[in-house]
Amino acid sequence: MRIWDCHCHVRGDETGDEVLRHMDAAGVERITLFSQFPPVWAYPRDWKDALGLDPVDFTGRPACKGGDHVPFRREDVRTSIEHIAKVQAADPSRIYGMLWAEPRAPGIVEEIEYAIVDQGLRGVKMIPDHWSPGDELLMPIYEKMEELGKPIMFHSGILYGFGDSSQYCRPVLFETLLHFPKLRFSLAHISWPWVDECIATFGRMRAAGGYGQRTPQMWIDTCRGTPDAWREEALRKAIPFCGIEYLMFGVDGVPETLPKNAPVHARKDLDILRNVIGLPQEQIETFFWGAAERFFGE
Ligand SMILES: [Zn+2]
């Protein structure tokens, strides 16, 4: 069975060949890979601690407190684009590079255009971090992505990092994307713990598309977030309501950990889909591959 992991992060120093090797070892045929988030020094303190970096003096810039950022720099955005583009170039049919875009970075709209048009990246990844999906700041980005015809993959749900930012990641906040009907987007982690709200938001977006008149603009990236005790219930609810073709499989790791994690996540999900919910093989394949294919307009 073909597996497309729709949610993977880079550390920033991987080569394309290394990524492909890890994918092969993991049994993952295709991957959606997010660029390194602009500079480590712009992370809130809790992330720096988690990464084992000196929270005060990593770059000589002012230390960050939870949620506060020192200014983002355009050259760092450019560096992360160039890294992910280089990784993708190792095999663009297997590695789908995405720019992890921070809306407060200077020149971000132009950088997005550069990433997608000049470097061939497949879309944008975003985590609402003390900004809300409906903020004015985001509108030029949504307009640009609509124009470019490429999707945005958002984090949604509780956020284990970025200070106290979970409040900006509630699924219903993404209803604002109704104003950009041609923009495809996904919400990660089935927005856990706000799974019902996520599914309801999907329903809202589908209603806007006239129930089949137009393809809904929203997909759900089901990568973990839901602990085991919640996962079966989340999938049981999401599958019949949304349709399996809007639910994508994902691992949420880094390439290096894929060989260990991807088979475990795939096996657990397969068990739920096949043995608990009883989905036919064709729909199971849609979950592990076809849904992402539709999302990316392949
Ligand atoms: Zn992630």
Domain count, the chain: 1
Q: Return d(Cα 212, Cα 47) in angstroms, integer.
A: 42
Pick the residue with more confidence: 37 or 53? Answer: 37
* pLDDT number for residue 55: 40
Mode of pairing for the β-strands spanning 218-221 and 185-188: parallel
CA of 222 to the centre of ligand 1 (A): 11
CA of 126 to the centre of ligand 1 (A): 10
Pick the residue with more confidence: 192 or 41? Answer: 192
Q: Domain range spanning residue 276?
A: 4-38+73-295
What's the mean per-residue pLDDT of the chain?
A: 89
* pLDDT number for residue 54: 43
CA of 213 to the centre of ligand 1 (A): 32
Asked, for residue 54, whether it belongs to a domain, the answer is: no
Asked, for residue 53, whether it belongs to a domain, the answer is: no
> For the residues 50-78, what does the mean pLDDT come to?
53
CA of 7 to the centre of ligand 1 (A): 6
> For the residues 74-81, what does the mean pLDDT come to?
91
* pLDDT number for residue 6: 98
Asked, for residue 128, whether it belongs to a domain, the answer is: yes
Asked, for residue 260, whether it belongs to a domain, the answer is: yes
CA of 212 to the centre of ligand 1 (A): 30
> For the residues 131-146, what does the mean pLDDT come to?
96
Asked if 63 and 45 touch (Cβ cutoff 8 Å), the reply is yes
* pLDDT number for residue 58: 33
Kindly tell me if the per-residue pLDDT of 67 is higher than 70. Answer: no
CA of 161 to the centre of ligand 1 (A): 11
Least-confidence region, from 51-60, 105-114, 241-250:
51-60
* pLDDT number for residue 63: 37
Mode of pairing for the β-strands spanning 218-221 and 247-248: parallel
pLDDT band of residue 160 (cuts 50, 70, 90) is confident
* pLDDT number for residue 53: 45
Asked, for residue 102, whether it belongs to a domain, the answer is: yes
CA of 262 to the centre of ligand 1 (A): 14
> For the residues 13-26, what does the mean pLDDT come to?
97
* pLDDT number for residue 73: 82
CA of 224 to the centre of ligand 1 (A): 9
Environment class of 265 (CB within 10 Å of its CB; exposed 0-12, middle 13-18, buried 19+): buried
Q: What's the CATH number where 167 sits?
A: 3.20.20.140
Asked, for residue 47, whether it belongs to a domain, the answer is: no
Kindly tell me if the per-residue pLDDT of 272 is higher than 90. Answer: yes
Asked, for residue 46, whether it belongs to a domain, the answer is: no
Least-confidence region, from 133-137, 144-148, 179-183, 209-213:
209-213
CA of 63 to the centre of ligand 1 (A): 24
Closest CA to 188 of 295, 114, 84: 295
Asked, for residue 67, whether it belongs to a domain, the answer is: no
CA of 31 to the centre of ligand 1 (A): 13
CA of 125 to the centre of ligand 1 (A): 9
CA of 9 to the centre of ligand 1 (A): 6
Q: Return d(Cα 197, Cα 192) in angstroms, integer.
A: 9
CA of 169 to the centre of ligand 1 (A): 13
24-38, 153-167, 204-218: which is most confident: 24-38
